[in-house]
Each structure stands twice: as C-alpha cells, then as structure tokens.
Chains A and B, each alone.
Chain A
Amino acid sequence: MNPAVQALITIALGVSGCVGYFYFSNLVLDKFIFPARGTNAGRNINRANMVRPWLFLLPALLALGFYLAYPVFETFRLSLSERLPGGGSRFVGLKNYDRMLDEPKFWEAIKNNMLWLVVVPAASTALGLLVAQLTDRIRWGSIAKSMIFMPMAISFVGASVIFKLIYDTRPVDQDQIGVLNALWLKFDGGWGSTLMLRIVPVVLIVIFVVAALWFAWSLVRPVFSSREKSGGVLLSAVRLSIGVVALWLTWVSVGGIQSVLGTELTYGAPATWLTIKFYNNFFLMVVLVWIQTGFAMVILSAALRGIPEETIEAAIVDGANPFQIFFKIKVPQIMGTILVVWTTITITVLKVFDIVFAMTNGQWETQVLANYMYDKLFRAFDWGVGSAAAMVIMLLVSPILVWNVYNARKEMK
C-alpha cells in the first residue's frame, strides 16, 4: 500500500478513536451517570465536572502506566532474575550485578562514561558560552550562530558518518581523504609541529585545569568559611564531592601533560585515529560536542541578553576590563542557566549511544554504558545483565533527574 495512504488511515483511525472515546464517554457521563435534570441537577453537574478531567486523562494515564511506570519496575525485576531453560524466570538476587561487575568491558564502559561526563558538558558549555559572548558583538554574529546551531538538526548517526570521513585513513601510498590525516601529514617534526602538537595542547590542558580548580574552589569555599552560608549538610557534601572530582581531574591532567610531552610521534605516516586507545574516546566526544554546542550557545546567548545593562555599565565606569566584566559580572548572573545547560547535556551524555554504535561499536576500548547495555540485551540476549546495566544508567542519572524534577516543579507551579 502507498505509504501516504497508510499514514492517512492510521491518523484517521487514531484521531477518530480519540474523538469517539471522548465524545461517548462524555455522553455516558452526562446522560446516564450524572444526568443534568431532576431534583439533583445542580449537584449532578458539579459531580460530572469533577469526574470529567479524569475521562480525558484516562488514555494518557493508561499509556503512561503501561509504557513508563511498568517498564521501569519490570527492568528492575529483570535485573534481579534469571531466565529458566523452559521459559519463565526466577529470582536470583544480585547475581546479575555480580556477573556484570566481573566483566572488564563493564568497567571500561564506566571509566569511559566518566570521561565523557566530565569532558563533553564542560566543553560544550564553555564553547557555547564563548560563541554566545563573541557573536553578540559582531554584525554577522547571527549567521555564525545559525551555522553553529545547524548540527542540532542532524541526527547523531549523520554526524557520526560525517566524522568518520574526517577520521578516515587510507594506505600510506595513497592520498589521504580524511581531513585529520591530511592535516596530520602536514606536520614534519619541525618547530611548527612542536608548537601545535606539544605546546598548544599543554596550554589547553593547563587552562582546563585552572578553570576546573577555580570553579570547584568557588563552590567549595562556602563550606569552610563561616561568613557565607553553605546550605545544608547535603549541599555541603555535593560541594565537597565536586572538589574531589576537580582534584581527580587535576591528577588525570598532569598525567595527560606527561604523555603529550613524552610520546614519540610518527610523523609522515597516516594514523588510524579511531583505534588509538584512550584518545579515540576524545575523537568520539568531539562529535557530541560538535552537536551540543549549538544548544548551549542558544540558551546561554538568550541568558546573556537578559543581563541588566546597568550592571555592565557600572562595571565599565568602575574601570573593569572585558575579561573582568565577563567573568565577574556576566557569568555569575547567568550561573543558573549555565547549570541548567550543563545538567541537560550531562543527561544526554549518560545516554549516548548512537555515536559509539555508529563509529566504533565499542571496539578499541571505547565502550560506554548505553552501548554495553544494548550489546547485552540485543546481541548477547542476556537480559539479566542488560537490565542491570540499565539500572546503573538509571542510578547515575537519578541525582540529576531529581534535581531537574524539583526545579521543573518549582518553575511551573
């Protein structure tokens, strides 16, 4: 059958089903259960109006119950049970989790996910903020913005295909088509290479560390000082744990600087980028940052525009330079928005699946949790461990989830 015809039939059926349901259920309510006549007409109208919203929400409630609530609990149950040979399942306690913890691939996925979690939201938010700030000042800023936002319209898979071309490798004796290799072959080991491949990365890492430490310090400081209020115990714990993460990041970065300065680079030979262990994770992250920056940019640029002019003018009168205005006047005022952007991207990162699936499929130590789960569920058909992995994702997401729900409730009240 023609797809268009089929689609039309689906829509007609669906819509007429909905309308029919709404119409007839109302009819029944008004005419038979609480008829608006006789001695109790007024009371009946009121009662009917109290019941009515539930009639409209019933399909939605049923659908949500079936497809949202039940599956969450079912996944939890499956993660605690085991398939029996003849069909059916049996409760086995934490055995699935035990098996999962024994697998090196799982730990690899956790490690990589942590890496993604730190790098991608930070990079996307920082780049988005940078672009939002810079494009506000120039005439063709809106064009630049619309170009940078464009990757948001492309699917993750499409973006992965594009970047596969960029990372593409061909044999040594042929011309390189991959953009990265074409650039790479331009380096010959001279001073230019030293500058671009050693000094610039080290400077970038140092900037990252300083930014991370500054950010963490500004969060941790209230816990120790008696003047500022640090909030409750829970908040202090969150602040301290962010501080610990920052210290860990510093440690990792120092190792990174060492390896950047220490590795022998094979100039003149094309590299297969996606198979270089550890660093290939970053090549995959570049794809997600490429997509998500547009989102961060749009939201942050709106927030930047919302800053009252007076505060900036006052700072200029006081003799602040552009950097001080940006970091001390603008950033603190949009901190709330930055956090929202950050957490939104964090959730996206925790569920990242398409990119890894399309580019490496978890080979060469690039596994992430969502892809690990997919592997277990739909390739190994081991739904015990797969569900356990799903619960781990849920566990990692839930702090942000709760925070988001809390905020959304507050905002929409």
Chain B
Amino acid sequence: MADTTTNTALSGPRGPKPRKRLSRGNIILYSTLFVVCVYYILPLWVMVMTSLKGMPEIRMGNIFAPPVDIEFQPWVKAWAEACTGLNCDGLSRGFGNSVRILIPSVILSIAVASVNGYALINWRFKGSDVFFTILIFGSFIPYQVMLYPIVILLREAGIYGTLWGLVLVHTVFGMPILTLLFRNYFSSIPEELFKAARVDGAGFWGIYFRIMLPMSLPIFVVAIILQVTGIWNDFLFGVVFTKPDLYPMTVQLNNIVNSVQGVKEYNVNMAATLLTGLVPLIVYFVSGKLFVRGIAAGAVKG
C-alpha cells in the first residue's frame, strides 16, 4: 500500500500547477472588480472628459466618449473668468487665498507640533500624561462643537474674516493630531541616542536639531502631506471664518458651481473641480505610499 502511494506521487504530473484562465473563481473575481472599478473610476473619467469638451459637444450626449476636439477653453474660463457673485476672476483668486492660508499654517503647525512631540516623549515631566490625554481629546473632538465660540473669539481679537484668523485656526486645530504623530515617531527612536547626546553635553535644542530632526524626515513628510491635503480640502473653516473676497478655493468652487445665472456650463464646472483638486492630486502622485500614511493618520481627527 505504502509503495503504491509513493509511486503515484512520484509519477504524477509535474511542473507548475496549470492555471485555468476562465475558472469560475476568476470570472467572479474579475466581474466583481469590473463593477467596483466602474463605480470608482467612471466619475473620474467623466470629469476629465467633460472638462475637455466644448458645450455643443456636451449637449449631444455621449458622456463617456473622449472629446472629438480637445478644448482648453473651459479650463481657462474656470481659472480666470468664471463668476461668483460680483467677482468674475474665476478660481485664480481662490487659489491665491488657499496658498496664502496653506503655507503659513502648514509650517507653523508642524514646527510647533514637532517640538511639542519631542518635549513630550524625551523630557518626561510631571503632568505630561495629562497633557497627552488632552491632546488625544483635542484631536478627536468634532470641530462643529467649537465653531461658534471661535467665531466670537476671533471677532474679539479683530481677526475674524481675515486670512490670519483662518491660519490661526488651522494651526491650532492641526496641532493635537500632529503632536501625537510626532510623539509616536520620536518614541521609536532609541533612547540611548538621546542619553548619549545628553552625556556629550547637548541641550534641548542641540538634541532636537542634530539628532531628532535628521532621523525623522519621513514623519515630517507625512505631516506635511496630512496638513496640505487637509487644509487645502477644508471647506467648513473656509466658509465660516472668511469673507467672500478671501474664500479659499473649495468654497469658491462650490460658489461657481452653484451660481444660478445663465446656462449650466458642465465643462467649466468639471475643469474647476479638477483645478481645485490639482494640488492634493499632485502631492498624491508624487508621494505615493507616504500619502496613504498621511491620510490614514489624519482620518481620525475631529
């Protein structure tokens, strides 16, 4: 008995297992994936195609077809001519505002948060635990709860409706989650390094700039991605804390699309959407895996 089984095992088919291309499993697999892809990719496809067509071509239907004549007019119009209320200078104004909001808030929040994270993890002190819990609460509490009192605070300070106010709000609200991010990363750096540096006479800043900073470049990139996409895509703060002249790009996009005058220009709307999404999309394609980490880290924030 034992002999026969070993024999068949030896004389049996050899080589790699033959693959059936159209097995039942594969059909289910590919058809499910196809349906899923239609749901996720079709809207993006339609958006890009529509933005490149002229209005006459759009009116003919054929939404899925690529454009016969590629038109860049809608892009130009969305950028420089589309109207919101009385302003007719398109998204360019919003772009400028968004940049002016984005750069200071990203740099400030990351600078402060990284120092905080460093102070929390390496210079343990009385009360650091309480501070830590406050930070976690701060990063999870929904923004809606704090909205109106902050409007009052900013008004009292005289910066309600200015870009400064919005920068301040973004900086403060980015801080808890960023501090936690940095704290977690710094805690993975071996403590011996820190101790050795202290023995060698490095102070608080010496250790921060010469040891922590060079070793934690990835987490800085993650933090930048988190903040850039978060602030760029923010709508609530933009609409609540600024005035029409200073609206960031997302708010302006909404206003352009929802302005009721004249015919609906689908191509301009889609071009405007693409223009608004361009910055995060570029960041996404350039940074790849780190982007995913940044988004995942930011997903929990209030």
A interface residues with partner B (beta carbon < 8 Å): 3-4, 6-7, 10-11, 14-15, 18, 22, 26, 49-50, 52-54, 56-57, 59-61, 63-64, 66-72, 74-75, 78, 127, 130-131, 134-135, 137-138, 144, 147-166, 168, 174-179, 182, 290, 293, 295, 298-299, 322, 344, 347-348, 350-351, 353-354, 357-358, 370, 373-374, 377-378, 383, 386-387, 390-391, 393-394, 397, 401, 404-405, 408-409, 412
How far is it, in angstroms, between the C-alpha of A397 and the C-alpha of B144 when the chains are bound?
11
B residues less than 8 Å from A137 (CB atoms): 29
Query: Per a CB cutoff under 8 Å, which of B108, B148, B251 touches A377?
Result: B148
Residue pairs across A and B with Cβ atoms less than 8 A apart, 21 shown, are A7-B99, A15-B111, A18-B112, A52-B123, A53-B120, A56-B204, A74-B152, A134-B33, A154-B233, A157-B251, A157-B254, A158-B233, A182-B61, A295-B296, A347-B302, A351-B142, A370-B144, A373-B147, A378-B240, A394-B141, A409-B133
Select A149's contact among B33, B37, B104, B292, beta carbons within 8 Å. Answer: B292
Cross-chain contact of A161 among B205, B240, B273 (Cβ < 8 A): B273
Q: A137-B29, A154-B281 are in contact. Are A18 and B37 (CB under 8 A)?
A: no
Docked-complex contact A153 and B284, CB < 8 angstroms: yes
- The answer to whether A67 and B145 touch across the interface, beta carbons within 8 angstroms, is no
Contact status of A409 and B141, CB under 8 A, knowing A148-B40, A293-B40: no
- Name the CB-closest residue of A to B134: A64
**CB < 8 Å A-B pair total:** 294
Is B175 touching A60 in the complex (CB atoms < 8 A)?
Answer: yes
B236: which of A66, A179, A354, A397 is its contact (CB, 8 Å)? A354
B219 at the interface (CB under 8 A from A): no
Contacts of A138 in B (CB 8 A): 29, 33
In the complex, chain A residues whose CB is within 8 Å of the CB of B183:
412
Q: Check B204–A153 contact: CB distance below 8 A.
A: no
Binds A, one of B3-11, B44-52, B66-74, B82-90: B44-52
Partner of B291, one of A153, A157, A374: A153
Question: Contact residue range for chain B?
Answer: 35 or more
Identity of the chain A residue whose Cβ is nearest the Cβ of B279 in the assembled complex: A153
Whether B22 is near chain A, meaning CB under 8 Å from some CB there, is: no
* B131 and A61 contact, CB distance less than 8 A: yes
The segment out of B13-21, B165-173, B189-197 that lies at the interface is B165-173
Q: Does B222 contact A (CB under 8 A)?
A: no
Q: B272: shortest Cβ distance to chain A, in Å?
A: 8
CB of B47 within 8 A of CB of A162, answer: yes
Contacts of B159 in A (CB 8 A): none
Chain B residues near A347 (CB-CB < 8 A):
140, 142, 300, 302
Q: A158 near B107 (CB under 8 angstroms)?
A: no
- In chain B between 153 and 193, which residues have their CB closer than 8 angstroms to a CB of chain A? 153, 164, 167-169, 171-173, 175-176, 179-180, 183-184, 187
Measured CB to CB, the closest approach of chain A to B257, in angstroms, equals: 5
Contacts of A353 in B (CB 8 A): 144, 235-236
Name B's A-contacting residues (CB within 8 A). Answer: 25, 29, 32-33, 36-37, 39-44, 46-47, 50, 58-61, 63-64, 96-97, 99-100, 103-104, 107-108, 111-112, 115-116, 119-120, 123, 125-126, 128, 131-138, 140-150, 152-153, 164, 167-169, 171-173, 175-176, 179-180, 183-184, 187, 204-205, 229, 232-236, 240, 250-251, 253-254, 257-258, 264, 266, 269-270, 272-273, 276-277, 280-281, 283-284, 291-292, 295-296, 299-300, 302
Are the CB atoms of A322 and B25 closer together than 8 Å? Answer: yes
CB contact under 8 A between A161 and B144, given known A78-B149, A175-B59: no
A154 pairs with B277, CB closer than 8 A: yes
Hey, which chain A residues are within 8 Å of B258, CB to CB?
358
**Are B100 and A7 within 8 A (Cβ)?**
yes
Query: Across the interface, do B44 and A150 meet the contact criterion of CB distance under 8 Å?
Result: yes
Residue of A4, A14, A68 touching B138 (CB-CB under 8 A): A68
Given contacts A4-B99, A67-B150, A148-B36, 15 further A-B contacts (CB under 8 A): A6-B100, A7-B100, A15-B108, A53-B119, A71-B148, A71-B150, A75-B147, A78-B148, A138-B33, A162-B46, A168-B266, A290-B40, A295-B299, A397-B142, A404-B136
Q: Quick one: given A134-B33, A150-B281, are A60 and B269 in contact (CB under 8 Å)?
A: no
Partner of A7, one of B103, B116, B120, B153: B103
**Cα distance A409–B140 in the bound complex, in angstroms:** 13
Q: Bound state CA distance, A408 and B139, in angstroms?
A: 11
B63's partner among A6, A162, A179 (CB-CB below 8 A) is: A179
Q: Name the contact of A63 in the complex, choosing from B36, B41, B172 (C-beta under 8 A).
A: B172
Query: In the docked arrangement, what's the CA distance between A74 and B150, Å?
Result: 9
Contact B107 A11 (CB under 8 A): yes
A376 to B107, CA, bound (A): 34
Q: Give the shortest distance, in Å, between B260 (CB) and chain A (any CB).
A: 13
Residue with the highest number of chain A CB atoms closer than 10 Å, among B97, B103, B133, B299: B299
- Separation of A351 and B164 alpha carbons in the complex (Å): 25
- Interface contact A351-B125, CB-CB below 8 Å: no
Which residue from chain A places its CB closest to the CB of B301 in the assembled complex? A347
Residue of B nearest to A59 (CB): B112
Q: Is the CB of A348 within 8 A of B172?
A: no
In the bound complex, what is the Cα–Cα distance between A401 and B132 (angstroms)? 15
Report whether B61 and A75 are in contact in the complex, using a CB–CB cutoff of 8 Å: no
Residue of B whose beta carbon sits closest to that of A295: B299
Q: Is the CB of B140 within 8 A of A75?
A: no
Residues of B near A147 (CB, < 8 A) are 37, 40-41, 44
B299, A348: Cβ atoms under 8 Å?
yes
**A154 adjacent to B280 (CB under 8 Å):** yes
Q: Are A162 and B153 in contact, with the CB atoms below 8 A?
A: no
CB-CB under 8 A from A161, the residues of chain B are 253-254, 257, 269-270, 272-273
Q: A56-B116, A63-B172, A354-B235 are in contact. Are A391 and B145 (CB under 8 A)?
A: yes
Q: Which residues of B contact A151 (CB under 8 A)?
A: 40, 44
A165 & B149 in contact (Cβ 8 Å cutoff): no
The answer on a CB contact under 8 Å between B149 and A70 is yes
> B37 contacts A130, CB within 8 Å?
no
Which of B33, B100, B125 has a CB less than 8 Å from the CB of A53? B125
Closest beta carbon of chain A to B243's beta carbon, Å: 13
Tell me the minimal C-beta distance from B208 to chain A in angstroms: 10
Given contacts A147-B40, A353-B236, contact A75 B142 (CB under 8 A): no
Contact call A351/B149, Cβ cutoff below 8 A: no
Chain A residue with the shortest CB-CB distance to B33: A134
Contact present for A182 and B63 (CB under 8 Å): yes
